[in-house]
């Protein structure tokens, strides 16, 4: 385990150092991040596995290299103990903070889950659920956005980066995290999911629960100016199915952004491989999201709270 972690740390250092700070999200950095997280050697990052812990170590060292602050007490890793029957070990979320310049107590949270389904030995040909789209893609966008904001440091509000674990087991990581927060401090949540495969077409994004807050009034125009078409979730059933919901249940205007949904051909299948990812489109979406939330980050605008009924 120690040798493995040393290799992971060295790799992180290389990746972090090779990125210029304060340039928009680059296709190449997304490719590097997804290639690592969704490689066969990561064996599908199942919550509780060694490879899942390797992903945890990778993301925390990455955040550390960027100069972000550890935000789970004095650590980047928030340990939690899922009390489920299938004997999961301790799991960790990875939480990092970039304090706001003038409004540090007002937080915008960016999140993505990094766990996936692991492997299935019964499958003869390809037994590894790589989870490149679900959700190495969202995790890579989260990390690249952290790299961008850490270089820029112009945020008036605080930005919290949450890489959640145990999502595939039932939103475990975000549920554990939101148990101890003061929801009133959280002004907005942007959850990143399945952004690698442009199932609904390039330069398009699905926003779940689009009518549940007025966030779309703030982000719609800059999104359009970035060349991205934003639309709601057609079936309107994805809102409660990802980590945004742990925040939304407390009233935080938190929505998930996706370029593909559970109808995608390789969704939760071993063919969800890095080779299917459109990194050019992913970078465009990431930069569109950055542009679209600028007035929330500056404190100029605040989306309305969510009232679930
Ligand atoms: Zn997912």
DSSP state letters, 257-295? EES--TTSTTTTSTT--GGG--HHHHHHHHHHHHHHTHH
Query: 300 CA distance to ligand 1 centroid (A)?
Result: 31
- Closest C-alpha among 196, 195, 191 to residue 243: 191
| Structure confidence at residue 7 (pLDDT) | 66
Confidence of residue 23 (pLDDT cuts 50, 70, 90): confident
| Structure confidence at residue 131 (pLDDT) | 98
Judging by beta carbons within 10 Å of its beta carbon (0-12, 13-18, 19+), is residue 206 exposed, middle or buried? buried
Judging by beta carbons within 10 Å of its beta carbon (0-12, 13-18, 19+), is residue 227 exposed, middle or buried? exposed
Where exactly are the structural domains of the chain?
A: 2-297
Query: 192 CA distance to ligand 1 centroid (A)?
Result: 9
Query: 110 CA distance to ligand 1 centroid (A)?
Result: 15
Record the pTM: 0.94
Tokens representing residue 35 in the block: 């290639």
Query: 187 CA distance to ligand 1 centroid (A)?
Result: 23
- Taking the C-alpha atoms of residue 92 and residue 164, their distance in angstroms, rounded to an integer, is 8
| Structure confidence at residue 248 (pLDDT) | 97
Query: 154 CA distance to ligand 1 centroid (A)?
Result: 30
Query: 246 CA distance to ligand 1 centroid (A)?
Result: 14
- pLDDT tens per residue, range 4-14: 666 666 666 56
Query: 160 CA distance to ligand 1 centroid (A)?
Result: 20
Q: Domain 2-297 carries which CATH code?
A: 3.40.630.10
Alpha helices in the chain (DSSP H): 2-18, 27-37, 50-65, 138-152, 172-178, 215-225, 244-248, 279-292, 294-297
* Mean pLDDT computed over every residue of the chain: 93
- The Cβ-side half-sphere exposure at 200, using a 13 Å CA radius, reads 22
Category of 120 on φ-ψ map: left (φ > 0), alpha (ψ -120 to 50) or beta = beta
Query: 291 CA distance to ligand 1 centroid (A)?
Result: 24
Query: 242 CA distance to ligand 1 centroid (A)?
Result: 7
Query: 131 CA distance to ligand 1 centroid (A)?
Result: 8
- pLDDT tens per residue, range 81-112: 887 655 567 999 999 999 999 999 999 999 99
- Please give the average per-residue pLDDT across 21-42, as a whole number: 93
Query: 214 CA distance to ligand 1 centroid (A)?
Result: 24
């Amino acid at each position: 385990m120690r040798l493995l972690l040393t290799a992971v740390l060295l790799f992180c250092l290389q990746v972090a150092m090779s990125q210029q700070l304060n340039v928009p999200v680059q296709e190449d950095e997304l490719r590097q991040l997804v290639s690592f997280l969704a490689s066969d050697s990561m064996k599908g990052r199942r919550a509780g596995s060694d490879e899942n812990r390797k992903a945890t170590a990778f993301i925390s060292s990455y955040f550390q290299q960027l100069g972000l602050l550890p935000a789970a007490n004095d650590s980047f890793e928030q340990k939690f103990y899922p009390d489920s029957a299938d004997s999961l070990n301790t799991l960790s979320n990875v939480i990092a903070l970039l304090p706001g310049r003038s409004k540090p107590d007002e937080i915008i949270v960016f999140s993505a889950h990094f766990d996936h389904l692991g492997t299935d030995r019964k499958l003869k040909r390809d037994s590894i659920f790589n989870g490149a789209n679900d959700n190495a893609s969202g995790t890579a966008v989260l990390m690249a956005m952290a790299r961008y904001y850490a270089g820029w440091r112009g945020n008036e509000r605080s930005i919290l980066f949450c890489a959640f674990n145990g999502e595939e087991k039932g939103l475990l990581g975000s549920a554990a995290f939101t148990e101890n927060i003061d929801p009133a401090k959280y002004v907005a949540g942007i959850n990143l999911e399945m952004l690698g495969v442009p199932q609904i077409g390039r330069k398009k994004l699905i926003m779940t629960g689009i009518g549940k807050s007025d966030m779309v009034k703030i982000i719609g125009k800059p999104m359009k100016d970035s060349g991205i078409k934003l639309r709601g979730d057609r079936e309107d059933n994805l809102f409660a199915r990802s980590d945004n919901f742990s925040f939304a249940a407390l009233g935080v205007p938190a929505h998930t952004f996706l370029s593909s949904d559970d109808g995608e051909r390789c969704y939760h299948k071993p063919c969800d491989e890095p080779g299917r990812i459109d990194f050019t489109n992913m970078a465009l979406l990431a930069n569109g999201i950055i542009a679209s939330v600028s007035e929330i980050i500056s404190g100029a605008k605040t989306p309305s709270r969510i009232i679930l009924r």
